[in-house]
Amino acid sequence: MAQLKSGVVLAAILVTGLALNAEAQWPSDCATATTAAPAGSSPVLYNLPDGHGSPLTQARVNGGIVDATITLTLLDNGCLPIANFAAADMWLQKSVAAGTGNFESCIGGTIADANTDDAGITRWTNPLRAGGWSTSRTLVVIAGSPLISNDGLVLRHNSADINGDRVVDLMDIPLFAADFGTTAFRSDLKFDGVVNISDIPVMASGIGAVCP
């Protein structure tokens, strides 16, 4: 029995040590994140709370489509790859810049597509489960800490969930109507420079979308 208890204690110490080592290697200024969007572009991703928005491979720029896939290379403080890092501990969020929108994600709605591979690489290509809008940079967050190798990626967001309460319903219609005929970013769902009839089908198809 004494040997069993000793084994359990030793295992607990080892697990605790591994956890502390994992925390110690983050944040790291070796880790990097990039987007596939063309240099100088400012893509917009259309999101819905139920995940039926656009994948990152179909972000918009002035009415056209661009690939805004995000690639993260997760390296420790020694610039060595961190393999099999949990996807659930890597997510996207808007920067905290004031006046740049009300972007809100569902629980787990912006996590990476998969755990990091042997080279420490993972990506975001799948549609996000999120609502609201954002004109600020998109931050890549690892275990609660944003990357320190850059100040965020140029990727903006909008949604038929205009008020950012993570559900598309009748509360969003008056906001869309108020923006109709203007260049209001939050309601320019096709992102062609103006809120007009081309945005109506997008708005209508989003009605009823809610976080899972």
Number of H helices, E strands in the chain: 3, 12
In this structure, the strands spanning 130-131 and 90-94 are unpaired
In a domain, 50, yes or no: yes
Of residues 183, 181, 201, the one with CA closest to residue 191:
183
In a domain, 128, yes or no: yes
In a domain, 91, yes or no: yes
Domain count within the chain: 1
Domain range for 154 is: 28-206
Q: What per-residue string of b and e applies to 147-171 under the rule 16 or more CB within 10 Å gives b?
A: beeeebbebbbbbbbbbbbbbbeee
The pLDDT assigned to 28 comes to: 82
> Dihedral through CA 209, CA 129, CA 133, CA 151, nearest 10?
180
In a domain, 15, yes or no: no
The pLDDT assigned to 101 comes to: 96
In a domain, 4, yes or no: no
Secondary structure, 3-state, 80-107: CECCCCCHHHEEEEECCCCCCECCEECC
In a domain, 34, yes or no: yes
In the chain (212 residues long), the average pLDDT of successive 10-residue segments reads 48 42 64 96 97 98 93 96 98 91 98 98 98 97 94 96 98 98 97 96 98 96
The pLDDT assigned to 99 comes to: 87
Distance CA 184, CA 181 (A): 9
End-to-end CA, the chain: 47
The pLDDT assigned to 16 comes to: 43
In a domain, 7, yes or no: no
In a domain, 10, yes or no: no
Per the CB < 8 A criterion, the answer to whether 81 and 75 are in contact is yes
Residue 160 is given by DSSP the state: S
The pLDDT assigned to 8 comes to: 44
Distance CA 140, CA 34 (A): 10
